[in-house]
Amino acid sequence: MGETTVHWRRGELRDDGNGGWWRELADAGALPRGPRTVVHLPARLRTPVVVATMQSLVRFLRRDHARAVAVIARGFGADACAGAELLPYSIVGASLVESPRLWPGTPIADVWFEPVSLITIAGAGPDPRYRIAGVLAANAELLSSAAGLDLDLALEAHRLLAPDLAIACGSVGGDTWQAASTSDVGLDRALARAAGIDPSTLPIVRHLRSHEVLEPGERDAGDPIPRLAGLAAPAWRVRVSRAGARAAHTCDVATTDLRTSIANLRRIPQFVARRSPPWLRLRGAGA
Amino acid sequence: MRRLRTAVVGCGAVSEIYHLPAVARVPAAELVAVADTDLDRARAAAARFGATVAVADYRELPDDVEAAIVATSNASHAEIACALLARGTHVLCEKPMATTAADAERMIAAAGRGKARLMAAHCRRFNPNVAALRALVQRGVLGDVRTISAALGGKYGAWPQRTDFRRQRSLAGGGVLVDIGTHLIDLALWLGAESAVVESYVAADALGWGIECDADVTLRFAGGERALLSCSYTHAVNRTLRVEGSEGWAETSVDGSETVMLFSHRAMICRRAGAQALRLTEADPYERQLAHFIKAILEDAPFIVRGEEVVAGLRVIEDCYRRLENAA
């Protein structure tokens, strides 16, 4: 497993007719090559910069990259999708995928059973649950109907729906910036470095590390890395938030266990009936 | 809600354990009568499940019975179903719907002559896991189907049964192939294509009953895909249903199960994490089957199990038996 590359860019994305930064990413092999691309626009931190980045990307993919593009975005108008199809966020009829961390599983919408490529474009900001809400946190929105701790949702989203290209963007001191990587973990770690904190202190990185071997590190390319001061929440707020979430989750699990136990007890009469000899099953025969 | 006045003909193990409880649980069904050649047994079933009428002869069922579940020995299905259809009673007939394709066609024709409708009770189609597997195939998640493999069976007598009719060719219409293999053939045709030819058939009368007690069938479909089916009265088999396609595979139990294992190169969810277990809520297939049967009747909608499919399945079985006779 080698280093991944994080492509940085500073300044507004301008449509120079040549694809600009998107062309650079395509030439670097970072843009997915599949026939159909779904661009995920999370609801959280959906700033004008994020929307503009999405629109610029969609225009490039449709015009220069000849790809079928759809946008998946909760609470978003189809008219703002730069001509791409807007997919419903609904998980009605979704399949439940077994998950080691989420009970009873993770509802997965039909589209994720298709051969699609996923690009997630997320705003980045401080968050008491993740310390930095970046792409990993943003992608967990795709599983928001599952019940579980935020970090477990993010883990499952990373396991099942890791984007082929992760993009984070924002503005600092009036200057916009974008960062892109084929690794969602690599991008979040790069954001932590830009925010001046040790990436290994991100709760989601620690959580992922206990489940899989992470890439050794990431290499920066492109424009100079912006100083993203204030992007990370204080460590004490993260600890308090996690303790509260754990307590609430424990209550939920206890309630579910109780319901399941009651349901199992109700199965006992049928279980006994199935295994009883016929004379016992039809008591009263011959009466 | 309109409820269909329903009767159950035959009070053997399958009725007692599955059909009668299903009638009690499906809101659109109302159990009004039961019939069994053993009148005491019919009376006991009526008392237990709340039917007002118990008769020894299905011909004595009350005139206002609108639908009947026929769950008698295999060879009697055609005669009973035709008589009920002729008097205007809808029939849900246990598998195998008939022991010959000609009998099945006769039953379908009887249904066609009047307003009563006929559906074969291929209950395994109504297991949520089996239905989910088919949905994956239909949606192309597995790509083009290449192989369907399925196995079903166990030591004879390991499951509840009231009579020993399965050991008698005259009552069962054959051996393990027609009795249990019919499930597998039905699923193969449902998952693959409606028609297939028998590529190979191997059977053994290991128990010396004059019927095949182990049977292995290979079917070939028009597109070149194959079904490998195995059923047994002599030993426990793995009871799995597996479909392999050009883009992946899916596997589940032939019985009800809460999971379907899936791997697909196409599916985004398998790209990083490999094979995934799809989790389903287990549901009683008999209840779902009866609910579907009644709903389709009340709404004049098509049945999931179509007559042509049943005939195609019986043709496969006949072809297998013919091969064995020719070989002998």
What SS3 class is residue B67? strand
CA-CA distance, B3 to B246, in Å (whole number)? 46
Of A115, A118, A281, the CB nearest to B16: A281
Any residues with CB less than 8 A from the CB of A246 and at least 6 apart, and which? A149
A93 touches chain B (CB under 8 A): no
Instruction: Tell me the Cα Rg of chain A.
Output: 23
Minimum distance, in Å, between the CA of residue B130 and any CA atom of chain A: 14
Nearest-by-CA chain A residue for B129: A95
**Predicted local distance difference test score (pLDDT) of residue B281:** 86
Of A104, A113, A285, the CB nearest to B269: A113
Which residues in chain A have their CB less than 8 angstroms from residue B47's CB? 284, 287
A183 close to A134: Cβ distance less than 8 angstroms: no
Residue with tokens 């083009």: B144
- The predicted-structure confidence for A206-224, as pLDDT tens digits, reads as follows 999 999 999 888 999 999 9
Which residues in chain B have their CB less than 8 angstroms from residue A274's CB? 17, 160
Which residues in chain A have their CB less than 8 angstroms from residue B17's CB? 273-274, 281
What SS3 class is residue A23? helix
At position B200, the amino acid (one-letter code) is S
CA-CA distance, B266 to B271, in Å (whole number)? 8
Q: Does the beta-carbon distance from A116 to B40 stay under 8 Å? A: no
Q: Does the beta-carbon distance from A285 to B268 stay under 8 Å? A: no
A235 touches chain B (CB under 8 A): no
Judged by average pLDDT, the poorest of A23-27, A177-181, B4-8 is A23-27
**What angle do the packed helices B182-191 and B307-327 form, to 10 degrees?**
120
HSE-CB for B55 with a 13 A CA cutoff: 14
Taking a contact as any Cβ pair under 8 Å apart, which residues of chain B between 256 and 315 contact chain A?
259, 264-269, 271-273, 276-280
ipTM score for this prediction: 0.81
Q: Does the beta-carbon distance from B267 to A113 stay under 8 Å? A: yes
Is beta strand A85-87 parallel, antiparallel or unpaired with respect to A95-97? Answer: unpaired
Confidence of residue A284 (pLDDT cuts 50, 70, 90): very low
Confidence of residue A281 (pLDDT cuts 50, 70, 90): low
- Is pLDDT above 80 for A158? yes
What SS3 class is residue A168? strand
Query: CA-based diameter of chain A, in Å?
Result: 92
Q: Does the beta-carbon distance from B266 to A160 stay under 8 Å? A: no
Taking a contact as any Cβ pair under 8 Å apart, which residues of chain A between 154 and 193 contact chain B?
159-162
DSSP string, B29-61: EEEEEEE-SSHHHHHHHHHHHT-SEEESSGGGS
How far is CA B177 from each of CA A33, A71, B310, B316, rounded to the nearest angstrom? 49, 51, 14, 10
**Predicted local distance difference test score (pLDDT) of residue B292:** 98
Contacts for B194-197: CB closer than 8 Å, 24+ residues apart: B194/B308, B194/B309, B194/B312, B195/B221, B195/B222, B195/B312, B196/B220, B196/B221, B196/B222, B196/B227, B196/B312, B196/B316, B197/B319
CA-CA distance, A105 to A101, in Å (whole number)? 8
Q: Which two tokens stand for residue B234?
A: 């002599």
What SS3 class is residue B235? coil
Which residues in chain A have their CB less than 8 angstroms from residue B279's CB? 96-98, 104-105
CA-CA distance, A247 to B152, in Å (whole number)? 47
Instruction: Tell me the Cα Rg of chain B.
Output: 20
Is beta strand A106-108 parallel, antiparallel or unpaired with respect to A95-97? Answer: antiparallel
Minimum distance, in Å, between the CA of residue B179 and any CA atom of chain A: 21
**Predicted local distance difference test score (pLDDT) of residue A287:** 33
Greater model confidence, A13 or A37: A37
Which residues in chain B have their CB less than 8 angstroms from residue A105's CB? 279
What average pLDDT does this structure show over A126-141?
Answer: 94
Residue A37, phi then psi, degrees to nearest 5 = -115, 135
Nearest-by-CA chain B residue for A103: B279
Q: Does the beta-carbon distance from B41 to A285 stay under 8 Å? A: yes
Q: Does the beta-carbon distance from B136 to A159 stay under 8 Å? A: no
Q: DSSP letter at A44?
A: T
A105 touches chain B (CB under 8 A): yes
**Predicted local distance difference test score (pLDDT) of residue A285:** 41
DSSP string, A216-243: S-EEEEESPPP--TT-S--HHHHHHHHH
Q: Does the beta-carbon distance from B277 to A162 stay under 8 Å? A: no
Q: Does the beta-carbon distance from B264 to A281 stay under 8 Å? A: no
Any residues with CB less than 8 A from the CB of B174 and at least 6 apart, and which? B99, B211, B212, B317, B321
**Predicted local distance difference test score (pLDDT) of residue A228:** 93
Which residues in chain A have their CB less than 8 angstroms from residue B141's CB? 113-114
- Is pLDDT above 90 for A200? yes
Mean pLDDT by runs of 10 across the 328 residues of chain B is: 95 94 96 97 96 97 97 96 98 97 97 95 96 95 97 87 84 93 97 91 93 96 95 94 98 93 95 93 94 97 96 97 87
Nearest-by-CA chain B residue for A104: B279
Q: DSSP letter at A81?
A: S
Confidence of residue A270 (pLDDT cuts 50, 70, 90): confident
HSE-CB for A251 with a 13 A CA cutoff: 5
**Predicted local distance difference test score (pLDDT) of residue A18:** 61
Minimum distance, in Å, between the CA of residue A213 and any CA atom of chain B: 13
Q: Does the beta-carbon distance from B272 to A115 stay under 8 Å? A: no
Residue B70, phi then psi, degrees to nearest 5 = -100, 115
pTM over 0.80: yes
Q: Which two tokens stand for residue A232?
A: 């990370």
**Predicted local distance difference test score (pLDDT) of residue A150:** 86
State chain A's mean pLDDT as an integer. Answer: 88
As a whole number of Å, the end-to-end CA separation of chain A is 76
What average pLDDT does this structure show over A230-234?
Answer: 92
Taking a contact as any Cβ pair under 8 Å apart, which residues of chain B between 34 and 53 contact chain A?
40-41, 43-45, 47-48
CA-CA distance, B273 to A162, in Å (whole number)? 10
Q: Does the beta-carbon distance from B278 to A96 stay under 8 Å? A: yes
B29 close to B294: Cβ distance less than 8 angstroms: yes
What SS3 class is residue B185? helix
Any residues with CB less than 8 A from the CB of A134 and at least 6 apart, and which? A122, A124, A168, A187, A188, A191
Which among A71, A65, A59, A81 has a CA at the least distance from the CA of A15? A59
Q: Does the beta-carbon distance from A98 to B279 stay under 8 Å? A: yes
Torsion angle (degrees, nearest 10) of CA B295, B135, B227, A97: -120
Q: Does the beta-carbon distance from A113 to B136 stay under 8 Å? A: yes
